[in-house]
Amino acid sequence: QVQLVESGGGLVQAGGSLRLSCAASGSIFSIDVMGWYRQAPGKERELVAAITSGSTTNYADSVKGRFTISRAKSTVYLQMNSLKLEDTAVYYCNFRRYATNFWGQGTQVTVSS
């Protein structure tokens, strides 16, 4: 099993920045993809950004140019700049190994005007 613990969420004004971190522990071998998803109230969970074991990155169109995903050993980060009201959501860390997904508990990001 893989345990994921997110941190770094909080309340920020529009235009501000936050950096999310996700630390992994447990059986962290053969992880193919690390990623961040988010879920806003009344909406489905959506992919925000992902990074493969080969460091290829993928971003949702809505965050391109504003968010940056990176990784260091067993930790994945999400640097969020120029935050908008619509970025408000619970952000979840995700690690994928083959067809198995591991999820963190989520961290709330609230962007205020």
The pLDDT tens digits of the residues spanning 61-84 come to 999 999 999 999 899 999 999 999
Closest listed residue to residue 83, CA positions, set 9, 4, 29 = 9
Q: What is the pLDDT of residue 30?
A: 85
Sheet containing 67-72, strands listed edge to edge, beginning at the edge strand earlier in sequence = 2-7, 18-26, 75-80, 67-72
Q: What is the pLDDT of residue 8?
A: 97
Q: What is the pLDDT of residue 28?
A: 82
Instruction: Point out the residues of the chain with pLDDT beneath 50.
Output: none
